[in-house]
Amino acid sequence: MPRHEENPVTVIGLGPMGQALAGAFLRAGHPTTVWNRTAAKADPLVAAGAALAGSVEEAVAAGGPVVACVSDLAVLRRLLDPAADVLAGRVVVNLTTGTSREVRETAEWVAGRGAAHLAGAILALPRDIGTGTSLVLYSGSPEAFERHATTLRGLGEGAVHLGADQGLAALYAAAGVTLMWSTLNGFLHGTAMLAAAGVDASTFVEFARQNIATTAGWLPGYARQVEEGSYPAPDATVESHLAAMDLLVRESETSGVDAGLPRFVRAVAERAVAAGHGRDSYAALVEVFRRPAQP
Ligand SMILES: NC(=O)c1ccc[n+]([C@@H]2O[C@H](COP(=O)([O-])OP(=O)(O)OC[C@H]3O[C@@H](n4cnc5c(N)ncnc54)[C@H](OP(=O)(O)O)[C@@H]3O)[C@@H](O)[C@H]2O)c1
């Protein structure tokens, strides 16, 4: 691993993730300054060579990018506010989770203090930080990303800049988890139904994998339909999916498992049919997701 003795970095926030970030910077050889409300959490990092700042202002002034990783963005603003004078000309690499709107507002707030803002969304667990498996998405200042890309790759080879829009990293992260939870819920609901017939979860895995791969193969075609706003259905229509969804609800009830997930899936398709998409392809459901349901 290359050493970076000349590239200092500051980490603000030493929860499980901040500690992992600071540890990775230290292992990569960066002079690392840390600050945390509860200073004792810095002890292992100080033992490993980190400098403990006595205030956020002192931490920001230490030099290099200011990597911020606290519980939420309101906390971050409160912490950075007293350091406004030393923020000018600095780069804030904000790895604190928030909605895209909150991130954009924070970026404007940081810019108002004369600093560059690079937004980041961590798609990894603390134990993965600094390994080849961690992925951190970035958006916002392209110059800041270019300048600090080598340092940021110390957190994991997967460091991707998505564009200048500060909210993009948060949006991609949200899109990633909606995909992840939908897939996992399908797997676990299927597992519960199969368990009613004595099939164990491990036996289901190979079938589930193939099913996910087949579904993934449909994505490019559906993406084209979404972009064109036209949903021709040479084979399965939303109406035909709806009939299969009815069957899934009944199968869930018959098998004695919770039918809430298939009922929700059916309700979305029913809204698409009510909006005139019954003869369209499944991709037309994007029209339902684009508009919040009326209460
Ligand atoms: N852990 C993960 O697996 C993971 C994965 C991806 C992204 N993230 C994101 O990383 C960020 C940090 O997460 P985390 O897991 O390290 O733990 P966390 O519990 O979300 O955040 C803990 C950090 O926030 C600080 N904090 C909270 N309230 C504060 C306040 N009022 N004033 C000053 N500091 C305050 C804590 O300081 P004290 O130590 O003094 O309490 C600590 O440094 C979050 O935005 C999280 O969503 C975490």
Q: Per-residue pLDDT tens for 91-135?
A: 999 999 999 999 999 999 999 999 999 999 999 999 999 988 899
CA distance 282 to 75: 42
pLDDT at residue 281 in the model: 98
- Of ligand 1's atoms, which has the minimum distance to the CA of residue 97? 45
pLDDT at residue 201 in the model: 98
Q: Is the distance from the beta carbon of residue 176 to the nearest atom of ligand 1 less than 6 Å?
A: no
CA distance 131 to 159: 12
Average pLDDT over the chain reads: 96
Q: How many angstroms does the Cα of residue 151 sit away from the middle of ligand 1?
A: 21
CA distance 220 to 223: 5
Sequential DSSP letters for the chain: ----TT--EEEE--SHHHHHHHHHHHHTT--EEEE-SSGGGGHHHHHTTPEEPSSHHHHHHTSS-EEE--S-HHHHHHHHGGGHHHHTT-EEEE-----HHHHHHHHHHHHTTT-EEEEEEEES-GGGTTSTT-EEEEEE-HHHHHHHHHHHHTT-SEEEE--S-TTHHHHHHHHHHHHHHHHHHHHHHHHHHHHTTT--HHHHHHHHHHHHHHHHHHHHHHHHHHHHT----SS--HHHHHHHHHHHHHHHHHHTS--HHHHHHHHHHHHHIIIIITTS-GGGHHHHHHSPPP-
CA distance 292 to 63: 45
Q: Is the distance from the beta carbon of residue 127 to the nearest atom of ligand 1 less than 6 Å?
A: no
Q: How many angstroms does the Cα of residue 66 sit away from the middle of ligand 1?
A: 16
Whether 95 contacts 67, CB under 8 Å = yes
List all residues 6 or more positions away from 259 whose beta carbon is below 8 Å from its beta carbon. Answer: 249, 252, 253
Q: How many angstroms does the Cα of residue 153 sit away from the middle of ligand 1?
A: 21
Among protein residues, the one whose CA lies closest to atom 28 of ligand 1? 71
pLDDT at residue 2 in the model: 56
Instruction: Estimate the crossing angle of helix 168-195 against helix 238-255, to 10 degrees.
Output: 50
pLDDT at residue 5 in the model: 62
Residues lower than pLDDT 70 in the chain? 1-5
Whether 67 contacts 12, CB under 8 Å = yes
Can you list the domains of the chain with their CATH numbers? 9-165 (3.40.50.720), 196-290 (1.10.1040.10)
Note the maximum CA span of the chain.
66
pLDDT at residue 158 in the model: 85
CA distance 197 to 71: 44
**Token pair of 83, please?**
């350091």
